[in-house]
Amino acid sequence: MAYNHYILTCGGTACESNKGIEIYERLLAEAEKQGVADQVQIVKTGCFGFCEKGPIVKVLPEDSFYVEVKPEDAPEIIAEQIVKGREVPRLLYKTEKKSSAAVEDIEFYQKQVRVVLRNCGAINPENIDEYIAREGYIGLEKALFDLKAEEVIEELKKSGLRGRGGAGFPTWLKWDLTRKVPGEVKYVVCNADEGDPGAYMDRSTIEGDPHSIIEAMTICGKTIGAHQGYVYIRAEYPLAIKRLQIALEQAKNYGLLGKDILGSGFDFDIEIRLGAGAFVCGEETALIKSLEGQRGMPVPKPPFPAVQGLWAKPTVINNVETLANIPVVMTRGGDWLAAIGTEKSKGTKVFALTGKVQNSGLVEVPMGTTLREIIFEIGGGIKNQKKFKGVQTGGPSGGILTEKALDTPIDYESLTAMGSMMGSGGMIVMDEDDCVVDVARFYMDFCVDESCGKCSPCRIGTTQILNILEKIARGNGEEQDLDKLESIGKAMTKASLCMLGGTAANPTLSTVKNFREEYREHIRDKKCRSGKCKHLVIFDINPEKCIGCGLCARRCPVNCITGEKRQPHTIDQSKCIKCGECFKNCKFGAVNKK
């Protein structure tokens, strides 16, 4: 059935938690109520990426881009756009130069190249026909009928595609290693165990385009000689799991999965396995142990999983983002992807841009794009006109880079040289109000909790670093503590069994290197310039501003504020627990925070 209009509503986790489902349902109800249900198709899609402005509703063919939509806006959208044929100006995204903007005019999208996210926000992820209509499963058809395994490998080699999970290992080489290992039983595993703080790239990809993962895994199975695949995904991603389950059933019903796929004689099936949320299970050998029903702990390599992996059989493990590139490479050719990016880092990279940035969201840019372009052009700069302080790339495994690194191109080698890493794609922006000691402490606390404890460099090293950081944050640090942090961190990097321990010290090492004076302020001056380390904060009352209202004393949980009514009050510093209640509740600006 042909429609005059199509309304795309964001159906990602973030928008659904912000009344996205209600918006979708209200639009359906209003179309019926206003008698235009036969003129408009309303589709629930995946994430549009522009999370800062969600929930988003997009109307085609006008390309109207509505932001921060509420359920109560649905009647007006239907009445104005569908019935009367005119946009709703107050809901349109506005740029500095235009009162309304099509997607191509929005700064957030202008420098993006959507390869992995090509279908997110464009199709109904629960409808296989919409995926097929956008070149879906053409790559699988080629792998089944037109190309030999060696030719598939050659296309991957031409593309220059490297693993997007963090290590950057050439995808073609991993597949080829497994292909060449003798044996009837091999496996394909999709690593969807995305656990970095602030990262949601893989989850959103599955939510918005689950068939791309299914197609890629099936292509891999045909290439390496595997007949079984597993998607290892966190149980706390219910929407991604639901849509993946729907997609698997649809693929089976269409003969694209299961026995004798498309009459080719090739059998391949995929099962979902739920992870319990252990960060260490993002490491491939720990993931394998968890898949086997054992405790998720890494094992020494070699042998590598490509040779001896799941149940001791050859296994290819790729993360979601890596796999999402495969159908495009097969459909458009390796040379097409290789034309994007840099000499050693081909294609695009998806980042979850979060923190103190104006436009947070999912960003997909060509490799070689600079940090400055991502943060200040796509991201719109720092919130509240604050000063940029640093950016964390690579999650708990990455480093914190300063303003000096803003013109660094995003690629594997450049970020590593700067003391950080690509990682899976988390990018957290910090401003002048952030404390590097507090940030380093947060990431190390995370790593202490997530360490499996198998090897002593990680188990003991993370705890020692955390204890030193806590000591510095409390004002008890010593100058030699900085040398200790570097010494322990370097030892962990060299001696840890897996990359959790091998990279856990990166946030600490990078901040000690790039913000050493700020550490010294904590140690020497007992001062936290941002006020985040509460033990180094002093609250006092300015007698010239205090009118003696007593509100601060009433809100103080430890009764450390005294004073007569209508007379200046004072704080007993020996009793103060630095909770900040007095500072937050004073209506006259009489309480100072130093």
How far apart are alpha carbons 492 and 490 in whole angstroms? 5
Q: Which class in CATH covers the domain with range 436-525?
A: mainly alpha
The CATH code for residues 348-431 is 3.10.20.600
Q: What is the DSSP letter of 71?
A: G
Q: What are the percentages of helix, strand and coil residues in the chain, rounded to 5?
A: 45, 15, 40
pLDDT on residue 168:
85
User: Which residue's structure tokens are 């190390």?
Assistant: 444
Q: Is 310 within 8 Å of 177 (Cβ atoms)?
A: no
- Cα 243 from chain centroid (whole Å): 19
pLDDT on residue 100:
58
Please, is 54 exposed, middle or buried when counting C-beta atoms within 10 Å of its C-beta (0-12, 13-18, 19+)? buried
Token readout for 192 is 């969807």
Question: Where in 28-110 does DSSP place strands (E)?
Answer: 40-45, 57-60, 64-66
Q: Is 255 within 8 Å of 218 (Cβ atoms)?
A: no
Q: Is 118 within 8 Å of 130 (Cβ atoms)?
A: no
pLDDT on residue 499:
87
Token readout for 212 is 């791309």
Q: Are strands 348-355 and 426-431 parallel, antiparallel or unpaired?
A: parallel
How far apart are alpha carbons 196 and 198 in whole angstroms? 6
Do you know the residue count of the chain? 594
| Residue 189 phi, psi dihedral angles, 5° rounding | -125, 130
pLDDT on residue 559:
93
Q: What is the DSSP letter of 117?
A: T
* Alpha helices by DSSP H, 378-532: 412-417, 436-450, 456-473, 480-495, 499-503, 506-514, 516-520
End-to-end CA distance of the chain: give it in Å, rounded.
67
Q: Specify the amino acid at residue 484.
A: K
- Which candidate, 207, 241, 205, places its Cα nearest to that of 352? 205
pLDDT on residue 97:
62
> Which residues, in sequence order, are bridge partners of residue 319?
191
pLDDT on residue 99:
57
Please, is 279 exposed, middle or buried when counting C-beta atoms within 10 Å of its C-beta (0-12, 13-18, 19+)? buried
Q: Specify the amino acid at residue 159.
A: S
Tell me the fold of 5-106: Glutaredoxin (3.40.30)
Helices 480-495 and 456-473 cross at an angle (nearest 10°) of: 160
pLDDT on residue 361:
94
Query: How far is the CA of 296 from the CAs of 47, 241, 275, 289, 292, in angstroms?
Result: 31, 21, 9, 5, 9
pLDDT on residue 187:
98
Tell me the fold of 538-593: Alpha-Beta Plaits (3.30.70)
- Which candidate, 258, 238, 244, 269, places its Cα nearest to that of 126? 244
Q: pLDDT per position in the chain (594 positions), as tens?
A: 678 999 999 999 988 888 999 999 999 999 999 999 999 999 999 999 999 998 999 999 999 999 999 999 999 999 999 999 999 999 999 876 665 566 777 899 989 999 999 999 999 999 999 999 999 999 999 999 999 999 999 999 999 999 987 778 999 999 999 999 999 999 999 999 988 887 889 999 999 999 999 999 999 999 999 999 999 999 999 999 999 999 999 999 999 999 999 999 999 999 999 998 888 998 999 999 999 999 999 999 899 999 999 999 999 999 999 999 999 999 999 999 999 999 999 999 999 999 999 999 999 999 999 999 999 999 999 999 999 999 998 878 888 999 999 998 888 888 888 878 777 788 999 999 999 999 999 999 999 999 999 999 999 999 999 999 999 999 999 999 999 999 999 999 999 999 888 889 999 999 999 999 999 999 999 999 888 898 888 899 999 999 999 999 999 999 999 999 999 999 998 899 888 899 999 999 999 887
Whole-angstrom Cα Rg for the chain: 27
- Which candidate, 433, 447, 450, 424, places its Cα nearest to that of 509? 447
Domain boundaries, the chain: 5-106, 128-338, 348-431, 436-525, 538-593
What DSSP string describes 390-402? EEEESGGGS-EE-
Write down the number of H helices and E strands in the chain.
24, 17
SS (H, E, C) 262-300: HHCCCCEEEEEEEECCCHHHHCHHHHHHHHCCCCCCCCC
Please, is 316 exposed, middle or buried when counting C-beta atoms within 10 Å of its C-beta (0-12, 13-18, 19+)? buried
Q: Specify the amino acid at residue 90.
A: R
How far apart are alpha carbons 390 and 435 in whole angstroms? 10
Q: Is 240 within 8 Å of 272 (Cβ atoms)?
A: no
Query: How many other C-beta atoms can be found within 10 angstroms of the C-beta atom of residue 263?
Result: 9
Token readout for 228 is 């079984």
Residues 6+ apart with CB under 8 A from 340: 113, 115, 346, 347, 348, 366, 367
Q: Is 401 within 8 Å of 364 (Cβ atoms)?
A: no
- Which candidate, 304, 301, 318, places its Cα nearest to that of 116? 318
Tell me the fold of 128-338: Rossmann fold (3.40.50)
- Within 13 Å, how many C-alpha atoms sit on residue 498's CB side? 25
User: Which residue's structure tokens are 């980042």?
Assistant: 351
Helix (H) or strand (E) holding 74: helix 74-77
| CA triple 500-503-506, angle to 5 deg | 140
| Residue 513 phi, psi dihedral angles, 5° rounding | -75, -45
